Structure 1
Amino acid sequence: MYNAKKQASGAVTDNVEAEFARNRWTEANPSQTNPYAIRSNTPNSTYFIESGSYLRLNNLVLGYTFPADLTKRAHVSSLRVFATGQNLFTVTNYSGFTPELPGGPLDAGIEATTYPTSRTLALGLNVNF
């Protein structure tokens, strides 16, 4: 994958992430991992190509339906509690927002304007009388 987000963080006019700023090359820190900040467009380079492999737990639902003999005492025909989660975790070495990129044939594999994938957690109660 081509990490264009990482490429954009190299110019001094951009909003640079703290980790990039700490690890960039300077004369005082010549052995750091990121290139120095430049005042023009950062040129394309293989430095911005990263593995896009990942493992993600995307959807999970856990629920419990109470036995009918317990719910009848409360004058309830059925009772179910559940928890659901989306995008619970992602295991990857990719340094961008997400290795799962949208796009068409002309921009596939390029992270330029992608936003982080949001995480959703919800609890629920299903009661039938």
Structure 2
Amino acid sequence: MITVETIVNAPIDKVWKFWTTPKNIRKWNNPTDDWHTPYVENDVKVGGEFKYTMGRKDESICFDYEGIYTKLDEFSVIEYKLVDNRTGSVRFEIQDDKIKITEIFEPNPENPENEQKEFCQRVIDNFKKYTEAN
């Protein structure tokens, strides 16, 4: 399993909203400025499906990140299963006036784990930056 985390200086309702709404996901869901997420579908409920199309802006790399939600506790936990049967979770922990976000997921077998961890850490760090600035 791979684990990435960050601490966001924002209230839980804002963190949850920015994590789950398509218009916000499109703004933060990228590891660097040369990436983007032009398409987002997100039905936030148990059994609901999600699909994010991510890629480099120069179109040299593009992929869909998609799956189904298997557990949801608003403001607390999201668990999911990807279309390739890998699983993951995102936990939101209130720490005073900040929110600790921990994402744990099964790595894909095609890419080195350290690259996957670095990619996802940059994405979650970008979420922090976006949420705190907006």
More strand by share: 2
Q: Fold-level match, TM-score > 0.5?
A: no
Structure of greater relative contact order (alpha carbons < 8 Å, 6+ residues apart): 2
More helix by share: 2
Interval of TM-score (by shorter of Structure 1 and Structure 2): under 0.3
Larger Rg: 1
TM-score computed with the length of structure 1 as normaliser: 0.25
TM-score computed with the length of structure 2 as normaliser: 0.25
